[in-house]
Structure 1
């Protein structure tokens, strides 16, 4: 493509949702010159819960979208669907429309759907990847690492990064279960003579966070309390092992892009694992992850680069059109 590709990244602005579309856009930009513009969509509260088919641009609380329209529209999340299905008509067919995840509505009206394989979605316009698109790359975490080197580099090996999720529709992290996980993690770190680097998610219940902090604070390392810059990328860069709770498809897929052993921590299941089981089977079949058994075993695998693979598919589909 001779001219830079103009890309709009469209979401409701929630970090986890926006990063899926932005990660894919950045992967496209690594392959071809491109200009990325982020657009955040918000609907007026009165209309927010309406079915997508009934929403119109006049119901937006955010600024209206207007030409010049982009070459490539990459959107994520339910809020974008009423616009994703109209942008091709508005642009006179110029804009190539990519939706991440399973839209579950009007799936034939997008040029390409980049969907997690564990969603079990099929169709001529569906491109499946392991996990969801994300922004984690070896280069990005290496660039972020120096900001945290003073605190992390002196820590003894093996350095164990622990990424804790929390309550969701499918899983819970009770205080008792959190205490048990903390004891198992502490035993593994002590037995190895290593150190701990732990971060909680926004979904981690306060009781679980408190008991894990109490039981793990005696280990060498760093339990991030949420103040200051987020050290996640520093943790991933300096880690020898990564432990991730099974509730987050995003965290597991992101950790698997490092090429480091990823140990999956069990959670309290609230319903059959379903798509989470399919995801973890996929990651395990690719050699990236194993269930945490209390030991810090090492293994190697080719780092997953699923977002880059999806970006190649987007550009190929655009050229083919």
Structure 2
């Protein structure tokens, strides 16, 4: 199977498409070609002209995979010129019917359709591990976002409460690119935490930590990290951030709490998670193979 993977340079989007590609590789013999794109109008021009020069020297695709708005017209232009089926890993800003398959998180509340596969959160590279859990607790922090405000003092207070409630736990803490430098400095001096900023980690470091952590605590702005922890099968709890109002993301988080998959902020006992660890990338790959790729 030939896959053209369109990337927009955003780490979260690339993790989604890479997660699907790796899941397909577990089912089929796959050759992957990565095509970087930009949201500069070249995709639309290529679609209108029925030409797509980035693919001229590549074998014709079976699948064209992308995540992020910048990939939309590139997926459509490449399919128009070279064939294959488009797989978009998000709710599109163009009509759903223009894509062969849209993989859409449940919290985006998309209308049911034959070409829509609804998932619990966005896809990721995490697989349920076979390794035993250790007695280390992992804390994953985000930072300010368009959905929430951020308060260093509030987060430090919650972390102190967490340590006090679970005194026998060893703690490892990591950050995101959004984590304020002021908070990072305070955490470096905190006696309870071994702090490993995201800038100092190897590409698979977080994957490895999620596979063995005895419990994981995630600031509730970090939705993708929350679903990665659930995919790893770890007990998960939330750290509160100030919301700017109700929206689809906060509704999705509240639904996870209501299901008992994650513990609410202030409850210092992590929830056990879903009955089976999430493995949405593999579920999506299985759907593609079973519906489209009879030779796999």
TM-score range, shorter chain: 0.7 to 0.9
The aligned residue for residue 303 of structure 1 is 277
Report the TM-score, using the length of structure 2 for normalisation: 0.86
- The offset of 1:26, in angstroms, is 1.1
The aligned residue for residue 142 of structure 2 is 165
- 1:239-285 Cα offsets, whole Å, 9 max, x none, are 1110011112211111001222110111111232x212332244345
Distance in 2 separating the partners of 1:297 and 1:271: 25
Instruction: Pick closer, same or farther for the CA change 1:288–1:164 going to 2, 3 Å.
Output: same
The aligned residue for residue 238 of structure 1 is 212
Distance in 2 separating the partners of 1:286 and 1:318: 33
CA contact (8 A) 1:197 1:235 kept: no
The aligned residue for residue 195 of structure 1 is 170
Question: Pick from 205, 208, 223: which aligns with 2:183?
Answer: 208
Counterpart secondary structure, 1:302: coil
- The offset of 1:15, in angstroms, is 1.5
Report the TM-score, using the length of structure 1 for normalisation: 0.80
Counterpart secondary structure, 2:231: coil
The aligned residue for residue 112 of structure 1 is 101
- The offset of 1:54, in angstroms, is 5.1
Distance in 1 separating the partners of 2:44 and 2:64: 21
Number of matched pairs: 287
Instruction: Pick closer, same or farther for the CA change 1:16–1:72 going to 2, 3 Å.
Output: same
The aligned residue for residue 261 of structure 1 is 235
- The offset of 1:209, in angstroms, is 2.3
CA contact (8 A) 2:37 2:71 kept: yes
CA contact (8 A) 1:288 1:303 kept: no
- The offset of 1:287, in angstroms, is 4.3
Of the structure 1 ranges 289-298 and 23-32, higher mean CA displacement relative to structure 2 is found in 289-298
- 1:275-316 Cα offsets, whole Å, 9 max, x none, are 123322443455431214342356363111111111112223
CA contact (8 A) 1:161 1:197 kept: yes
Instruction: Pick closer, same or farther for the CA change 1:77–1:213 going to 2, 3 Å.
Output: same
The aligned residue for residue 90 of structure 1 is 81
Distance in 2 separating the partners of 1:293 and 1:315: 43
Counterpart secondary structure, 1:132: coil
Distance in 1 separating the partners of 2:73 and 2:214: 44
Distance in 2 separating the partners of 1:23 and 1:228: 19
The aligned residue for residue 279 of structure 1 is 252
The aligned residue for residue 65 of structure 1 is 55
Of the structure 1 ranges 277-286 and 298-307, higher mean CA displacement relative to structure 2 is found in 277-286
- The offset of 1:198, in angstroms, is 0.6
The aligned residue for residue 123 of structure 2 is 133
CA contact (8 A) 2:128 2:231 kept: yes
The reply to whether residue 293 of structure 1 matches residue 284 of structure 2 is: no
Distance in 2 separating the partners of 1:288 and 1:306: 16
CA contact (8 A) 2:143 2:176 kept: yes
The aligned residue for residue 15 of structure 1 is 11
- The offset of 1:188, in angstroms, is 2.7
- The offset of 1:237, in angstroms, is 2.3
- The offset of 1:78, in angstroms, is 1.0
CA contact (8 A) 1:177 1:268 kept: no
- The offset of 1:213, in angstroms, is 3.5
- The offset of 1:168, in angstroms, is 0.8
- The offset of 1:186, in angstroms, is 2.4
